Amino acid sequence: MRHSRIVACSSSLLLATACLSAAPTTVEGAPLTAAMRYVALGDSYSAGVGAGDYLPGRTACKRSSRAYPVLWAEAHGASSFAFPACNGAQADDVRSGQLGPLGPRTRLVTLTVGGSDSGFASVMATCALGGTSLCLSAVDRARSTVDRSLVHALDRLYSAIRDRAPAARVVVLGYPRFYHLSGGCQVGLQDRARAAVNDGVDHLDTVIARLAAAHGFTFADVRPAFAGHEICSRSPWMRGVDIPIVTESYHPTAPGQAHGYLAALDRVT
Protein backbone atom coordinates (compact mmCIF):
# COMPACT_ATOMS: atom_id res chain seq x y z
CA MET A 1 0.00 0.00 0.00
CA ARG A 2 1.39 3.40 -0.95
CA HIS A 3 2.12 5.79 1.90
CA SER A 4 0.08 8.53 0.22
CA ARG A 5 -3.01 6.40 0.81
CA ILE A 6 -2.75 6.52 4.59
CA VAL A 7 -4.16 9.11 6.97
CA ALA A 8 -1.80 10.64 9.41
CA CYS A 9 -1.92 9.93 13.22
CA SER A 10 -1.47 6.79 15.41
CA SER A 11 -1.81 5.98 19.15
CA SER A 12 -0.24 4.16 22.12
CA LEU A 13 -1.54 1.86 24.85
CA LEU A 14 1.41 1.73 27.19
CA LEU A 15 3.54 4.80 26.54
CA ALA A 16 2.44 8.14 27.82
CA THR A 17 3.41 10.49 24.96
CA ALA A 18 0.06 11.81 23.80
CA CYS A 19 -0.15 12.90 20.17
CA LEU A 20 -3.25 14.85 19.26
CA SER A 21 -3.98 14.58 15.57
CA ALA A 22 -2.35 16.81 13.05
CA ALA A 23 -4.36 17.56 9.93
CA PRO A 24 -4.83 14.06 8.53
CA THR A 25 -4.88 13.27 4.86
CA THR A 26 -7.09 10.64 3.30
CA VAL A 27 -7.06 7.83 0.79
CA GLU A 28 -8.01 8.40 -2.81
CA GLY A 29 -7.37 12.13 -2.36
CA ALA A 30 -10.74 12.59 -0.63
CA PRO A 31 -10.88 15.82 1.40
CA LEU A 32 -11.10 15.61 5.18
CA THR A 33 -14.46 17.41 5.08
CA ALA A 34 -15.99 14.43 3.26
CA ALA A 35 -16.62 11.76 5.88
CA MET A 36 -14.40 8.72 5.44
CA ARG A 37 -16.16 5.39 4.97
CA TYR A 38 -13.59 3.60 7.19
CA VAL A 39 -12.04 5.47 10.11
CA ALA A 40 -9.48 3.84 12.41
CA LEU A 41 -9.27 5.54 15.81
CA GLY A 42 -7.33 4.77 18.95
CA ASP A 43 -3.98 4.23 20.59
CA SER A 44 -0.70 2.51 19.82
CA TYR A 45 -2.35 -0.85 19.33
CA SER A 46 -4.45 0.68 16.56
CA ALA A 47 -1.48 2.63 15.20
CA GLY A 48 0.75 -0.44 15.02
CA VAL A 49 3.51 0.56 17.45
CA GLY A 50 5.86 -2.42 17.62
CA ALA A 51 5.12 -3.61 14.08
CA GLY A 52 7.75 -1.47 12.35
CA ASP A 53 7.66 0.09 8.88
CA TYR A 54 6.39 3.40 10.22
CA LEU A 55 4.78 5.90 7.90
CA PRO A 56 6.09 9.42 7.31
CA GLY A 57 4.42 12.37 8.93
CA ARG A 58 3.96 12.84 12.67
CA THR A 59 6.70 10.48 13.81
CA ALA A 60 5.58 10.60 17.45
CA CYS A 61 2.33 8.94 16.40
CA LYS A 62 4.25 5.90 15.05
CA ARG A 63 1.66 4.79 12.53
CA SER A 64 2.71 1.57 10.85
CA SER A 65 1.87 0.30 7.38
CA ARG A 66 1.58 -3.10 9.11
CA ALA A 67 -1.12 -1.98 11.56
CA TYR A 68 -4.38 -3.90 11.40
CA PRO A 69 -6.45 -0.94 10.10
CA VAL A 70 -4.11 -0.50 7.13
CA LEU A 71 -4.14 -4.23 6.45
CA TRP A 72 -7.94 -4.36 6.63
CA ALA A 73 -8.41 -1.34 4.35
CA GLU A 74 -6.05 -2.84 1.78
CA ALA A 75 -7.52 -6.34 1.93
CA HIS A 76 -11.12 -5.15 1.68
CA GLY A 77 -10.62 -2.36 -0.83
CA ALA A 78 -11.94 0.42 1.40
CA SER A 79 -13.21 3.22 -0.84
CA SER A 80 -11.82 5.77 1.62
CA PHE A 81 -9.79 5.37 4.79
CA ALA A 82 -8.81 7.77 7.58
CA PHE A 83 -6.17 6.75 10.13
CA PRO A 84 -5.97 9.34 12.92
CA ALA A 85 -4.96 6.82 15.63
CA CYS A 86 -1.94 8.08 17.57
CA ASN A 87 0.73 6.82 19.93
CA GLY A 88 -0.04 7.82 23.51
CA ALA A 89 -3.74 8.57 23.04
CA GLN A 90 -6.17 8.18 25.90
CA ALA A 91 -9.93 8.08 25.50
CA ASP A 92 -10.29 11.86 25.92
CA ASP A 93 -7.50 12.43 23.37
CA VAL A 94 -9.41 10.37 20.82
CA ARG A 95 -12.60 12.29 21.56
CA SER A 96 -10.97 15.71 21.28
CA GLY A 97 -8.44 15.06 18.50
CA GLN A 98 -9.39 12.13 16.28
CA LEU A 99 -13.10 12.37 15.41
CA GLY A 100 -12.77 14.87 12.55
CA PRO A 101 -13.03 12.28 9.73
CA LEU A 102 -16.31 10.86 11.08
CA GLY A 103 -19.62 11.78 9.49
CA PRO A 104 -22.98 10.50 8.22
CA ARG A 105 -21.29 8.60 5.36
CA THR A 106 -18.90 6.71 7.64
CA ARG A 107 -19.67 3.00 7.47
CA LEU A 108 -16.98 1.40 9.67
CA VAL A 109 -15.12 2.68 12.72
CA THR A 110 -12.51 0.62 14.56
CA LEU A 111 -11.04 1.56 17.92
CA THR A 112 -8.59 0.30 20.51
CA VAL A 113 -8.19 2.59 23.52
CA GLY A 114 -8.17 2.41 27.32
CA GLY A 115 -4.80 0.97 28.24
CA SER A 116 -3.08 4.33 28.63
CA ASP A 117 -6.00 5.59 30.72
CA SER A 118 -5.55 2.68 33.11
CA GLY A 119 -1.90 3.54 33.73
CA PHE A 120 -0.41 0.35 32.38
CA ALA A 121 2.80 2.14 31.38
CA SER A 122 3.62 2.77 35.03
CA VAL A 123 2.30 -0.68 35.97
CA MET A 124 4.75 -2.41 33.67
CA ALA A 125 7.62 -0.17 34.83
CA THR A 126 6.80 -1.06 38.45
CA CYS A 127 6.52 -4.75 37.65
CA ALA A 128 9.79 -4.78 35.74
CA LEU A 129 11.77 -2.89 38.40
CA GLY A 130 9.97 -3.26 41.71
CA GLY A 131 9.39 -6.96 42.30
CA THR A 132 6.27 -9.06 42.71
CA SER A 133 4.67 -7.35 45.70
CA LEU A 134 4.87 -3.87 44.19
CA CYS A 135 3.69 -5.28 40.86
CA LEU A 136 0.55 -6.75 42.42
CA SER A 137 -0.24 -3.44 44.12
CA ALA A 138 0.27 -1.54 40.84
CA VAL A 139 -2.11 -3.87 39.00
CA ASP A 140 -4.73 -3.38 41.74
CA ARG A 141 -4.46 0.40 41.39
CA ALA A 142 -4.86 0.12 37.62
CA ARG A 143 -8.00 -1.96 38.05
CA SER A 144 -9.44 0.70 40.34
CA THR A 145 -8.62 3.39 37.79
CA VAL A 146 -10.44 1.40 35.11
CA ASP A 147 -13.52 1.13 37.32
CA ARG A 148 -13.49 4.79 38.40
CA SER A 149 -12.37 7.08 35.59
CA LEU A 150 -12.02 4.97 32.44
CA VAL A 151 -15.68 3.94 32.51
CA HIS A 152 -16.77 7.57 32.26
CA ALA A 153 -14.15 8.48 29.65
CA LEU A 154 -15.20 5.60 27.41
CA ASP A 155 -18.86 6.44 27.84
CA ARG A 156 -18.20 10.00 26.66
CA LEU A 157 -16.09 8.80 23.75
CA TYR A 158 -18.52 6.13 22.57
CA SER A 159 -21.41 8.62 22.70
CA ALA A 160 -19.40 11.14 20.66
CA ILE A 161 -18.55 8.52 18.03
CA ARG A 162 -22.20 7.57 17.65
CA ASP A 163 -23.25 11.21 17.41
CA ARG A 164 -20.68 11.90 14.69
CA ALA A 165 -21.18 8.66 12.74
CA PRO A 166 -24.81 7.56 13.25
CA ALA A 167 -24.80 5.00 10.42
CA ALA A 168 -21.41 3.41 11.14
CA ARG A 169 -20.71 -0.02 12.45
CA VAL A 170 -18.30 0.49 15.34
CA VAL A 171 -15.92 -2.31 16.27
CA VAL A 172 -14.05 -1.95 19.55
CA LEU A 173 -11.04 -4.24 19.79
CA GLY A 174 -9.60 -5.30 23.13
CA TYR A 175 -6.09 -6.11 24.30
CA PRO A 176 -4.21 -9.43 24.41
CA ARG A 177 -2.87 -10.99 27.57
CA PHE A 178 0.81 -10.15 27.83
CA TYR A 179 2.30 -13.35 29.20
CA HIS A 180 2.32 -17.06 28.52
CA LEU A 181 2.51 -18.55 32.00
CA SER A 182 5.07 -21.25 32.80
CA GLY A 183 6.67 -20.32 29.52
CA GLY A 184 10.25 -20.15 28.34
CA CYS A 185 11.32 -16.87 29.99
CA GLN A 186 14.20 -17.47 32.38
CA VAL A 187 14.44 -13.86 33.58
CA GLY A 188 12.04 -11.05 34.27
CA LEU A 189 8.75 -11.19 36.17
CA GLN A 190 7.79 -14.16 38.29
CA ASP A 191 4.74 -16.10 37.15
CA ARG A 192 2.65 -14.68 39.99
CA ALA A 193 3.30 -11.17 38.70
CA ARG A 194 2.74 -12.25 35.10
CA ALA A 195 -0.60 -13.77 36.07
CA ALA A 196 -1.60 -10.54 37.83
CA VAL A 197 -0.78 -8.50 34.72
CA ASN A 198 -2.87 -10.89 32.60
CA ASP A 199 -5.75 -10.58 35.08
CA GLY A 200 -5.49 -6.81 34.82
CA VAL A 201 -5.78 -7.01 31.04
CA ASP A 202 -8.78 -9.33 31.40
CA HIS A 203 -10.47 -6.81 33.68
CA LEU A 204 -9.80 -3.99 31.23
CA ASP A 205 -11.24 -6.03 28.35
CA THR A 206 -14.31 -6.90 30.40
CA VAL A 207 -15.06 -3.23 31.10
CA ILE A 208 -14.44 -2.21 27.49
CA ALA A 209 -16.68 -5.01 26.19
CA ARG A 210 -19.50 -4.11 28.58
CA LEU A 211 -19.47 -0.44 27.61
CA ALA A 212 -19.19 -1.24 23.90
CA ALA A 213 -22.28 -3.45 24.13
CA ALA A 214 -24.17 -0.75 26.04
CA HIS A 215 -23.61 1.61 23.11
CA GLY A 216 -24.56 -0.96 20.49
CA PHE A 217 -20.96 -1.48 19.35
CA THR A 218 -19.27 -4.78 18.51
CA PHE A 219 -16.47 -5.97 20.78
CA ALA A 220 -13.73 -7.99 19.08
CA ASP A 221 -11.80 -10.09 21.59
CA VAL A 222 -8.20 -10.61 20.43
CA ARG A 223 -7.19 -12.86 23.33
CA PRO A 224 -8.14 -16.14 21.61
CA ALA A 225 -6.04 -15.23 18.56
CA PHE A 226 -3.01 -14.39 20.73
CA ALA A 227 -3.31 -17.54 22.88
CA GLY A 228 0.03 -19.35 22.68
CA HIS A 229 1.72 -16.28 21.21
CA GLU A 230 2.17 -14.14 24.31
CA ILE A 231 5.51 -13.05 25.79
CA CYS A 232 7.42 -16.14 27.00
CA SER A 233 5.70 -18.41 24.48
CA ARG A 234 7.65 -20.25 21.78
CA SER A 235 6.30 -17.98 19.05
CA PRO A 236 5.49 -14.59 20.64
CA TRP A 237 3.47 -11.96 18.81
CA MET A 238 4.07 -9.51 21.66
CA ARG A 239 7.26 -7.61 22.38
CA GLY A 240 8.81 -7.83 25.83
CA VAL A 241 10.98 -5.04 27.22
CA ASP A 242 12.79 -3.41 24.30
CA ILE A 243 15.69 -1.49 25.82
CA PRO A 244 16.87 0.31 22.66
CA ILE A 245 13.31 1.37 21.73
CA VAL A 246 11.32 1.46 24.97
CA THR A 247 8.21 2.73 23.18
CA GLU A 248 7.85 -0.64 21.44
CA SER A 249 7.77 -2.66 24.66
CA TYR A 250 4.58 -4.65 25.34
CA HIS A 251 3.15 -4.08 21.87
CA PRO A 252 2.18 -6.54 19.13
CA THR A 253 4.72 -7.38 16.45
CA ALA A 254 3.81 -7.36 12.75
CA PRO A 255 2.55 -10.99 13.03
CA GLY A 256 0.49 -9.92 16.06
CA GLN A 257 -1.15 -7.20 14.00
CA ALA A 258 -1.77 -9.49 11.02
CA HIS A 259 -2.65 -12.79 12.69
CA GLY A 260 -4.02 -11.43 15.96
CA TYR A 261 -5.75 -8.11 15.42
CA LEU A 262 -6.62 -8.36 11.73
CA ALA A 263 -7.92 -11.90 12.22
CA ALA A 264 -10.14 -10.74 15.11
CA LEU A 265 -11.47 -7.83 13.05
CA ASP A 266 -12.14 -10.07 10.05
CA ARG A 267 -14.15 -12.43 12.23
CA VAL A 268 -16.65 -9.72 13.13
CA THR A 269 -16.73 -7.83 9.83
* CATH number, domain with residue 186: 3.40.50.1110
What is the arrangement of strands in the sheet containing 169-173, beginning at the earlier edge strand?
Answer: 81-82, 38-42, 108-112, 169-173, 218-220
Q: Are 94 and 41 in contact (CB under 8 A)?
A: yes
pTM for this entry:
0.86
pLDDT in tens, the chain (269 residues): 333 333 433 333 232 222 323 333 333 333 333 466 999 999 999 999 999 999 987 789 999 999 999 999 999 999 899 999 999 999 999 999 999 999 999 999 999 999 999 998 889 999 989 999 999 999 999 999 999 999 999 999 999 999 999 999 999 999 999 999 987 887 889 999 999 999 999 999 999 999 999 999 999 999 999 999 999 999 999 999 877 778 899 999 999 999 999 999 999 98
Q: Which domain holds residue 249?
A: 3-268
Looking at the structure of the chain, the number of domains it has is 1
Contacts of 181 (CB under 8 A, 6+ apart): 191, 194, 195, 198, 232
Q: Are strands 38-42 and 108-112 parallel, antiparallel or unpaired?
A: parallel
Tell me the sheet residues that pair with 40. 110
Catalytic (active-site) positions: 44, 251
146, 140, 161: which is closest to 35 by C-alpha? 161
57, 52, 47, 59: which is closest to 25 by C-alpha? 57
Give CA angle at 68 (188, 3), nearest 5°: 115
